[in-house]
Amino acid sequence: MSERVLFVSCVGKKRARACPAKDIYESAWFLKARVFAERTGLPWYILSAEHGLLHPDTVIAPYEKTLNTMGVRDRRAWAERVAAEIAAELPVLKHATILAGDRYRDFLTPMLQAQGVQVDVPMQGLRIGEQLRWLDRHH
């Protein structure tokens, strides 16, 4: 088990058929984030609006759920679910790097910190174009 893990958020653009989660998301942002995650050599997971904590090799079908259209109560419930899944799946986690927008982080980050996890958000505050350039520079 790893003390350091990287989390990448899901995205809206998906393949039309079931496949491993790492292959279902098709946006340029996700593809670059995946390369970044894989090149770190760290274990990485996807933060899925539909599935919660998702291992990249788990086969899933396309879905339309997104945190970007969820209300505050639903986003908080999603974060509680994911924080519990992270605690169960990664009990020795000490450091998490999160590549995800505010909606995926706003409740999850303090929950992880309350579990004693140091959280790093390297692209915090960057607009999408700036994130793409950051990922290009750091892959």
CATH of the domain at 122: 3.40.50
Question: Per residue in 42-65, pLDDT tens?
Answer: 999 999 999 999 999 999 999 999
Q: Extract the residue ranges of the chain whose pLDDT is less than 70.
A: 1
Global confidence as pTM:
0.95
The DSSP string of 31-66 is HHHHHHHHHHTS-EEEEETTTEEE-TT-EE------
3-state secondary structure of 101: coil
Q: How many domains does the chain have?
A: 1
Query: What is the structure's pLDDT at 1?
Result: 63
Domain ranges, residue 52 = 4-137
